[in-house]
Structure 1
């Protein structure tokens, strides 16, 4: 569904209006080093995910019948609000779908360990992050927290210098190796990195290029 759609038809034939992004104006980026006001869990055990995925935490739902759960992390409050309202509208218009996705306002480069235990994540995506061009601001670029996930890390940007910087960081990290071309071709997620986000669609419309970097965390068997 296009991000430009304003309404969709639900399973009961009724029209459900989707939020319009123009009413959620926000700055292009926020300073990740500044203090923001939002709830911060002390540890992953303190998080109640039932409001995010109510269908999967229903007592009547089969505990072993869970899909892969996904959550987006965003620092800007207006963007978080827009995504949250859009998810709720899509759930209402498509019963049984979009129940495994959610969003939370937080500072991922600082509070990621507060949300996830070691080895809890199977994949992480950093798509079109702020490039922070000045060298003195490179510390604002997204920092890694290797213990939180296993085994795949996906990066994509339309800034070549940032793409090279990400690759250099990953290549020099002892816990990661680049995913082979054969694996990338077989991965159904890879084609979506450049076209499934609003930023990616904007780059495509403008005829721009994207610079992908996909790495796998080294296991004890490697």
Structure 2
């Protein structure tokens, strides 16, 4: 008797509203400090070794914050098989989908996708609880919630009150990537990042030559949705000084 075919999870069973208030109190378990994640077994949260059984002495280097359904995260894993990537997503069902997707990919492709995992968390509140100073070399903020109302601009994941935290966990010469289909949000993110003393935008030719340039614009589910709707996509890459 043949074993049943293993299939990837279907997004229609993990649907959730598109917006989440990052300021409100969510039921999220998080480490007190990054050292807790280096233990063999986590307490109120999984350790890195539980998330990445083959991590060895490596450290998480890439972070996709607000990773959505994980399209870009999976592409990142394939592009950099020797680097450890984490996706963080605040929505319960969406993060569950990404976790199940990665688990299934590991079964279908033995030995692959051991370098990628997903956590449900609020990176706007708990970023420094997860990462040591200068731990990350790449940070991705792709198609973040635009929070159009001026009164809600403080909810935007790229905002002046958080950029110093991002600079803290990003190593020197590390890169911070932003992509959006909203011109107003793009101008907002670029203006605040440009004004911060720890960040400097790459030149246009440097951005276009980045190995991830096309994947940033095309591999995530949100990017594909924008493409189907014939919308515009705006990208900027900033270097940690």
* TM-score category (smaller protein): 0.7 to 0.9
- Matched with 1:7 is none
Gaps of 5+ in 1: 1-12, 58-62
Q: Could you tell me the TM-score, scaled by structure 1's length?
A: 0.86
1:145-160 equivalent positions in 2, closer than 5 A: 145=165, 146-150=167-171, 151-160=174-183
Matches within 5 A, 1:35-184: 35-47=25-37, 48-57=47-56, 63=57, 67-142=82-157, 143-144=162-163, 145=165, 146-150=167-171, 151-184=174-207
Q: Quote the RMSD (CA, aligned, Å).
A: 1.5
| C-alpha distance after superposition, 1:78-131 (max 9, x if no partner) | 000000000001111011111101000110011000000110000000000000
From the two aligned structures, give the one with the greater helix fraction: 2
Corresponding pairs, count: 200
Q: TM-score w.r.t. structure 2 length? A: 0.80
| 1:150-175 CA-partner distances (Å, limit 9, x unpaired) | 21000000111000000110111111
Q: Determine which structure has more spread, i.e. the larger CA radius of gyration.
A: 1
Q: Which residue of 1 aligns with 2:227?
A: 204
- Partner secondary structure for residue 213 of structure 1: strand
Deviation of the 1:181 alpha carbon: 2.2
Q: Which runs of 4+ in 1 moved over 6 A?
A: none
Distance 2:192 2:54 in 1: 39
CA distance in 2, matches of 1:185, 1:31: 33
Partner of 2:10: 20
Q: Gapped runs of 5+ residues in structure 2?
A: 38-46, 59-80
